Amino acid sequence: MFDKYIVCEEGFRRLDDGRTGGRVEVRMPYYRGLGLSMVEVVDLTLDGTPVPPERTTFTVHGHTYTFAEMPGITDDRWEMGERAELAFETDDPLAPGEHDVAVRVRLRISYMPVPGGGADRKRLTLTN
């Protein structure tokens, strides 16, 4: 439903903490907010290469979580339209220019018999 809005065109940048990798902003592909324990998967693929979940963190309204922690987070939410940030590590520094960024989100929604979610892919430009 909201797949084309998952990957945000703005906010794609390098990590600024000495690690190699980057940050990309994403939105929830669902019309309601959900507790983070119901966000099952946020898979990131950069230039055709999947980024392992253990090399990615999820930040929403100032709180950062690993994907191993998220199944137990029952007191925090990702709201509809709210931007979350995926910070990811790579082996090599990101080159300036265009990159293919794909994100797949799988959500556990109580009244749906199958997982909800969506996928989006965009060409984003890294300027610095």
- Domains of the chain listed by start with CATH number: 3-126 (2.60.40)
50-60: per-residue pLDDT in tens?
Answer: 999 999 999 99
pLDDT at 95: 92
Q: Is the pLDDT of residue 116 over 90?
A: no
- Is residue 1 predicted with pLDDT exceeding 70? no
pTM (2 d.p.): 0.91
Sequence-distant (≥ 6) Cβ neighbours of residue 11 within 8 angstroms? 23, 24, 25, 83, 85
Q: What is the pLDDT of residue 112?
A: 67
- Region 105-115: mean pLDDT is 78
- pLDDT of residue 18 exceeding 90, the answer is no
